[in-house]
């Protein structure tokens, strides 16, 4: 779609496009419907239309009218043709959004050829396309030779351990990639063991989303070790993976040496009190983490207190948000939180709204006398 302001020498395209948008021949005056002149004009318009040329009432033309934009004549001439050529038009797109189009492997391979030649697209969204391993292979190979792309979304594509190798190659080769979304896939332990070393060697990624996958046990540990060596990543979301206590402990070790990560999301990962205490060990020395979300984990109030005590022991902590949502805490935790906020007044601590112990006390007070 071309904007209302055109460069020199394009007046002809403007007039032709405006004529097609209004449904009259270019340069012809308006006539009364039903007249002989109108009949002749209709015949001339019909005869002048080339095969594949757009008619009057199309989505493109309606959009142009709605936004007061002059249609591009080259698009009008071939808009419904089997093959569309928009060469030398300087469109300069920055974002390609093909989410939920059922591309599958074959469609991804066809798209990869064009994607590998782009020098202007910086944001690619291919989420929910059932790409699978073959689609991931084609897309990752294309992205490796597309240095302009900085953000890639591949969520919900059924990516498993077979696709992890191609993703690892992308992480190693594409130093300009800043954001990668792999959420809602099926990346498991084997995938974690493949992606972990690649994450350690990556030199550019600043945001990684792998929430709602299956990084558990050895896979979660390998992934966390990759985080330990990474010196670029600032935002990591590994929520809803079932990392467990072993994964939480590995992340705690990574936080001892990682001095770049700023946001870490680990909600709903089956982290118990023991895992929370080991995660907290990293918080005793870390000076860059600003946000830590560990909501919906079975760490109970004791686990939350263990994390908070680690923060209390680190006067250089940069934490601004500790999210313990949907975890019941007791009065001792509240007292501890109050004392920590004296040291870190800017720290926000989110907890469950209900207090079971408080409720019991109220019931005792209002119990009817016998």
Q: CA 81 from chain center: how many Å?
A: 34
Q: Over the range 117-129, which residues count as b (16 or more CB within 10 Å of their CB) and which as e?
A: ebeebbbbbbbbb
Mean per-residue pLDDT of the chain: 82
pLDDT (tens digit, 9 = 90+) per residue, 218-252?
A: 999 999 999 999 999 999 999 999 999 999 999 99
Least confident of 88-92, 116-120, 191-195, 235-239: 88-92
Q: pTM of the entire structure?
A: 0.73
Domains of the chain by residue range: 11-78, 96-365
pLDDT (tens digit, 9 = 90+) per residue, 320-350?
A: 999 999 999 999 999 999 999 999 999 999 9
Q: Over the range 30-58, which residues count as b (16 or more CB within 10 Å of their CB) and which as e?
A: eeeeeeeeeeebeeebeeeeeeeebeeeb
Q: Which two tokens stand for residue 216?
A: 């558990």
pLDDT (tens digit, 9 = 90+) per residue, 12-69?
A: 444 444 444 444 444 444 444 444 444 343 333 434 445 445 555 666 778 788 878 7
Q: Which CATH number fits domain 96-365: 3.40.50.300, 3.40.109.10, 3.10.20.30, 3.80.10.10?
A: 3.80.10.10
């Amino acid at each position: 779609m071309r904007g209302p302001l055109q460069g020199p020498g394009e007046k002809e395209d403007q007039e032709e496009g405006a004529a097609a948008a209004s449904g009259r021949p270019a340069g012809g005056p308006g006539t009364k419907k039903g007249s002989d002149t109108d009949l002749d004009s209709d015949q001339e318009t019909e005869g002048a239309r080339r095969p594949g040329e757009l008619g009057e009432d199309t989505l493109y033309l309606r959009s142009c009218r709605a936004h007061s934009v002059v249609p591009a004549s080259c698009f009008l001439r071939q808009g419904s043709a089997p093959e569309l050529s928009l060469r030398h038009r300087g469109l300069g797109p920055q974002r390609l959004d093909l989410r939920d189009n059922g591309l599958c492997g074959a469609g991804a391979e066809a798209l990869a050829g064009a994607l590998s030649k782009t020098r202007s697209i910086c944001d690619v969204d291919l989420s929910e396309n059932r790409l699978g391993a073959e689609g991931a292979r084609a897309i990752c190979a294309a992205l490796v030779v597309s240095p302009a792309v900085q953000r890639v979304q591949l969520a919900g594509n059924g990516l498993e351990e077979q696709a992890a190798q191609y993703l690892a190659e992308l992480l190693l080769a594409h130093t300009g990639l800043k954001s990668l979304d792999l959420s809602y896939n099926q990346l498991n332990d084997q995938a974690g063991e493949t992606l972990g070393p690649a994450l350690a060697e990556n030199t550019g990624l600043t945001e990684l989303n792998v929430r709602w996958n299956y990084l558990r046990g050895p896979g979660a540990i390998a992934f966390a070790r990759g985080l330990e060596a990474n010196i670029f990543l600032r935002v990591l979301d590994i929520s809803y993976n079932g990392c467990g206590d072993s994964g939480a402990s590995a992340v705690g070790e990574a936080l001892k040496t990682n001095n770049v990560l700023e946001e870490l999301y680990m909600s709903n990962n089956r982290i118990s009190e023991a895992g929370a205490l080991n995660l907290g060990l990293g918080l005793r020395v870390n000076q860059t983490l600003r946000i830590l979300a560990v909501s919906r984990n079975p760490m109970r109030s004791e686990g939350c207190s263990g994390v908070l005590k680690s923060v209390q022991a680190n006067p250089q902590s940069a934490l601004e948000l500790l999210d313990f949502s949907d975890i019941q805490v007791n009065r001792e935790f509240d007292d501890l939180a109050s004392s920590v906020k004296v040291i870190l007044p800017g720290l926000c601590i989110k907890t469950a709204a209900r207090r079971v112990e408080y409720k019991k006390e109220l019931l005792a007070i209002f119990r009817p006398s016998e």
